[in-house]
Structure 1
Amino acid sequence: MGRVQGKVAFITGAARGQGRSHAVRLAQEGADIIAVDVCRDIDTVPYDGATEADLEQTVKEVEALDRRIVARQADVRDLASLQSAVDEGLAQFEHIDIVCANAGIGSFAPALELTEETWQDVVDINLTGVWKTVKATAPSMVERGQGGSIILTSSIAGLIAFPHLAHYTAAKHGVTGLMRALAVELAPHHIRVNSVHPTTVDTPMVANEAIWGLFLGGVQGATREQAAEGMKALNAMPVPWVESVDISNAVLYLASDESRYVTGSTTVIDAGAMQPFKLPHPA
Structure 2
Amino acid sequence: MAGKLEGKVALITGAARGQGRSHAVRLAQEGADIIAVDICRQLDAVSYPMATKEDLAETVTEVEALDRRIVATEADVRDVAALKAVVADSVAQLGGVDIVLANAGIAVFDPALPDATAFREVVEVNLFGVWNTVHAATPTMIEQGRGGSIVLTASVMGLTGRGGSGNAGADGYVASKHALVGLTRTWANWLAKHNIRVNSVHPTGVNTPMIVNDVMQEALASLPPGGPDLGNLLDVPMVESVDVSNAIAWLVSDEARYVTGVALPVDAGFLAK
TM-score range, shorter-chain basis?
over 0.9
Cα displacement string for residues 35-85 of structure 1 (whole angstroms, at most 9, x for unaligned residues): 000000111112011000100000000000000000000100000110111
2:218 is paired with a residue of what secondary structure? helix
Runs of 4+ with deviation above 4 angstroms: none
Contact 1:34–1:89 (CA<8 Å) still a contact in 2? yes
Question: Which residue of 203, 209, 213 corresponds with 1:208?
Answer: 213
Contact 1:233–1:240 (CA<8 Å) still a contact in 2? no
Instruction: Give the letter aligned to residue 102 of structure 1.
Output: N
Instruction: Give the letter aligned to residue 115 of structure 2.
Output: T
Partner of 1:148: 148
Q: CA RMSD in A?
A: 1.7
Q: Does 1:259 align with 2:264?
A: no
Q: Whole-Å Cα distance in 2 between the matches of residues 53 and 215 of structure 1?
A: 29
Mark the CA change 1:114 to 1:199 in structure 2 (over 3 Å): closer, same or farther: farther
Q: Whole-Å Cα distance in 1 between the matches of residues 72 and 114 of structure 2?
A: 34
Q: Whole-Å Cα distance in 2 between the matches of residues 264 and 84 of structure 1?
A: 28
* Structure 1 residues without counterparts, runs of 5 or longer: 220-231, 277-283
Q: Whole-Å Cα distance in 1 between the matches of residues 230 and 55 of structure 2?
A: 32
Question: Which residue of 178, 181, 184 corresponds with 2:186?
Answer: 181
Instruction: Give the letter aligned to residue 209 of structure 1.
Output: D
Partner of 1:199: 204
Q: Whole-Å Cα distance in 1 between the matches of residues 235 and 114 of structure 2?
A: 32
Q: Whole-Å Cα distance in 1 between the matches of residues 123 and 58 of structure 2?
A: 28
Q: Whole-Å Cα distance in 1 between the matches of residues 222 and 127 of structure 2?
A: 27
Q: Whole-Å Cα distance in 2 between the matches of residues 195 and 65 of structure 1?
A: 27
Contact 1:155–1:197 (CA<8 Å) still a contact in 2? yes
1:23 is paired with a residue of what secondary structure? helix
Q: Whole-Å Cα distance in 2 between the matches of residues 120 and 182 of structure 1?
A: 23
Q: Does 1:45 align with 2:46?
A: yes
Instruction: Give the letter aligned to residue 119 of structure 1.
Output: F
* Structure 2 residues without counterparts, runs of 5 or longer: none
Percent identical residues: 55
Instruction: Give the letter aligned to residue 78 of structure 1.
Output: D
Partner of 1:79: 80
Q: Whole-Å Cα distance in 1 between the matches of residues 81 and 21 of structure 2?
A: 23
Shift of 1:16: 0.3
Contact 2:47–2:110 (CA<8 Å) still a contact in 1? no
Contact 1:47–1:208 (CA<8 Å) still a contact in 2? yes
1:187 is paired with a residue of what secondary structure? helix
Cα displacement string for residues 201-252 of structure 1 (whole angstroms, at most 9, x for unaligned residues): 0111100112112223359xxxxxxxxxxxx961111111000000000110
2:119 is paired with a residue of what secondary structure? helix
Partner of 1:172: 177
